[in-house]
């Protein structure tokens, strides 16, 4: 899959640009705060997922305007395709001339992976970031997963409300059953999908990490869950989750929140059998995050047959020459967007196109 043209109007600090890209490496360079990450973010939004910066829709609209309009021409599934995105009171997508009912319907059309310095939080921060990584990655492949997740979160929120009520109205105690059954039902789907995904990505990411570290270190990934039946059938996970929720009731009524379930699970990332989060050096954490992101791309490729577009924001400046060369070698057959301050850091590339960004414009 590759982008041919991007049109941007009133998005962040970009007034108006029409850019044609090559199907190899596209380098976007320039000083700090010129709009390089904004451009990467504009392309990313066509995946249908939310901004990787955690930005609200309104923050993406140029300060002096009320609406941002974007258009993307890309080649995928052996044909030329187009997507339009308007940001104004939310995001509205048109895909190949068809208006989509909701932004989540855009997921799965245009495929990309993004690595930016914010993704270091994947390794460094708490489990929330890692669950989110799994959820976004799986949703891109299986839109039904996003629906199960949303239903799961709603059911947990309902149980939490009820837990607070039960503290004062004990006659409501038995009604917890209804929500726990719902939670267990969606949890079984989520846990099964997450475990399947981790089993897939770990083969790719481990190999990529070995390449980055020149086989000096070993990365391992595993899904960490509280549900003892995880890894078994959906029915077994369902039963086990129900028991777990039932057993947690007393404690959960006291706290007014649900203490067990996939919203509390984690993805364990280890380097040479030690937690990357607790013991990894900065370089190791960075390499692990990158291995996860490039692994994500490999899973998309194996699943859909399409090579997703790689968006690498500020990645080169943080790696030594060996690691840079490994990355450049690894990505040479895909379309890649790389942002950097100094274009000489990607001078080893033979084939590519360079864009200089200044004050929101390509100059
Ligand atoms: N909604 C917006 N309207 C106008 N300018 C914006 C908006 N959002 C961010 N900016 C500007 O974009 C610039 C940062 O762009 P960014 O792409 O992050 O820079 P970099 O080139 O370092 O990656 C900042 O100067 C910021 O003020
Ligand atoms: Mg930037």
Split into its structural domains, the chain has a count of: 1
Specify if 14 maps to a domain. yes
Which residue's alpha carbon is at the smallest distance from atom 25 of ligand 1? 33
Specify if 90 maps to a domain. yes
Secondary structure (DSSP) of 107-159: TTTS-EEEE-GGGGHHHHS-HHHHHHHHHHHHHHH-HHHHHHHHHHHHHHHHH
Which residue's alpha carbon is at the smallest distance from atom 11 of ligand 1? 13
Backbone angles phi, psi at 18, to 5 degrees: -125, 120
Closest atom of ligand 1 relative to the 40 alpha carbon: 17
Specify if 42 maps to a domain. yes
Specify if 140 maps to a domain. no
Specify if 43 maps to a domain. yes
Q: Which of 11, 12, 52 to mutate to test the pocket of ligand 1 (most atoms within 8 A of CB)?
A: 12
Maximum Cα interatomic distance, the chain, rounded to a whole number of Å:
72
Quick check: helix, strand or coil at residue 357?
strand
The pLDDT of residue 232 is: 81
Specify if 234 maps to a domain. no
Bridge partner residues of 361 (DSSP): 358
Please tell me the pTM assigned to this model. Answer: 0.89
Closest atom of ligand 1 relative to the 38 alpha carbon: 17
Q: Which of 28, 32, 33, 356 to mutate to test the pocket of ligand 1 (most atoms within 8 A of CB)?
A: 33
Closest atom of ligand 1 relative to the 32 alpha carbon: 22
Residues with CB under 6 A from ligand 1: 12-13, 30, 32-38, 59, 61-63
Specify if 228 maps to a domain. no
Ligand 1 midpoint to CA 17 (Å): 15
Ligand 2 midpoint to CA 326 (Å): 22
> For residue 9, what are the domain limits?
1-111+306-363
Which residue's alpha carbon is at the smallest distance from atom 20 of ligand 1? 33
Tokens, residue 154: 């709603």
Specify if 7 maps to a domain. yes
Bridge partner residues of 48 (DSSP): none
Ligand 2 midpoint to CA 36 (Å): 5
How far is residue 101's CA from residue 362's CA, in Å, rounded to a whole number?
34
Ligand 2 midpoint to CA 33 (Å): 7
Q: Which of 9, 10, 11, 13 to mutate to test the pocket of ligand 1 (most atoms within 8 A of CB)?
A: 13
Closest atom of ligand 1 relative to the 34 alpha carbon: 21
Ligand 2 midpoint to CA 320 (Å): 19
| CATH code for position 341 | 3.40.50.300
Q: Which ligand is nearest the CA of 317, by number?
A: 2
Ligand 2 midpoint to CA 197 (Å): 30
The pLDDT of residue 351 is: 66
Residue by residue, pLDDT tens for the chain (363 residues) are 999 999 999 999 999 999 999 998 899 999 999 999 999 999 999 999 889 998 999 999 999 999 999 999 999 999 999 999 999 999 999 999 999 999 888 988 999 999 999 999 999 999 999 999 999 999 889 888 989 999 999 999 999 999 999 989 999 999 999 999 999 999 999 999 999 999 999 999 999 999 999 999 999 999 998 877 666 889 999 999 999 999 999 999 999 999 999 999 999 999 999 999 999 998 899 999 999 999 999 999 999 999 999 999 998 876 788 888 888 888 878 999 999 998 776 666 666 889 999 999 999
The pLDDT of residue 329 is: 81
The pLDDT of residue 349 is: 65
Which whole-number Å values give the CA distances from 30 to 14, 19, 39, 354, in the listed order?
A: 14, 16, 12, 11
- What are the residues whose beta carbon lies below 5 Å from ligand 2 (ion)? 36-37
Contacts of 83 (CB under 8 A, 6+ apart): 46, 71, 72, 74, 93, 94, 95, 96, 106, 109, 110
The pLDDT of residue 123 is: 96
Q: Which ligand is nearest the CA of 41, by number?
A: 1
């Amino acid at each position: 899959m590759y982008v041919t043209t991007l049109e941007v109007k009133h998005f962040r600090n970009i007034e108006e640009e029409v850019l044609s890209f090559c199907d190899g490496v596209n380098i976007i360079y320039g000083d700090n705060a010129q709009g390089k990450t904004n451009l990467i973010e504009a392309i990313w939004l066509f995946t249908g997922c939310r901004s990787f910066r955690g930005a609200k829709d309104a923050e993406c609209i140029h300060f002096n305007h009320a609406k941002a309009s974007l258009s993307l021409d890309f080649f995928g599934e052996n044909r030329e395709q187009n997507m339009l995105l308007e940001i104004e009171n939310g995001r509205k997508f048109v895909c190949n001339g068809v208006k989509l009912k909701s932004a989540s319907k855009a997921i799965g059309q245009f495929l990309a992976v993004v690595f930016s310095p914010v993704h270091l939080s994947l390794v460094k921060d708490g489990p929330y970031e890692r669950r989110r990584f799994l959820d976004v990655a799986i949703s891109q492949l299986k839109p039904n997963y996003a629906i199960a997740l949303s239903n799961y979160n709603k059911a947990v929120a309902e149980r939490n409300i009820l837990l607070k009520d039960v503290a004062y109205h004990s006659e409501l105690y038995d009604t917890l059953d209804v929500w726990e059954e719902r939670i267990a039902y969606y949890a079984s789907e989520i846990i099964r999908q997450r475990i399947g995904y981790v089993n897939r990505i770990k083969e790719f990411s481990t190999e990529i990490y070995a390449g980055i570290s020149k086989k000096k270190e070993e990365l391992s990934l595993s899904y960490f869950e509280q549900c003892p039946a995880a890894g078994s059938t959906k029915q077994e996970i369902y039963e086990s989750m129900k028991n777990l929720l039932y057993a947690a009731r007393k404690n959960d009524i006291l706290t007014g929140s649900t203490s067990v379930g996939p919203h509390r699970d984690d993805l364990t990332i280890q380097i040479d059998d030690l937690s990357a989060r607790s013991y990894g050096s900065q370089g190791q954490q960075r390499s692990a995050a990158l291995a996860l992101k490039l692994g994500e791309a490999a899973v998309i490729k194996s699943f859909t047959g399409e090579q997703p577009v790689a968006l690498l924001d500020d990645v080169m400046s943080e790696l030594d020459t060996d690691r840079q060369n490994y990355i450049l070698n690894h990505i040479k057959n895909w379309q890649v967007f790389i942002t950097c301050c100094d274009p000489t850091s990607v001078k080893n590339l033979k084939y590519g196109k360079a864009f200089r960004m200044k004050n929101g414009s390509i100059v």
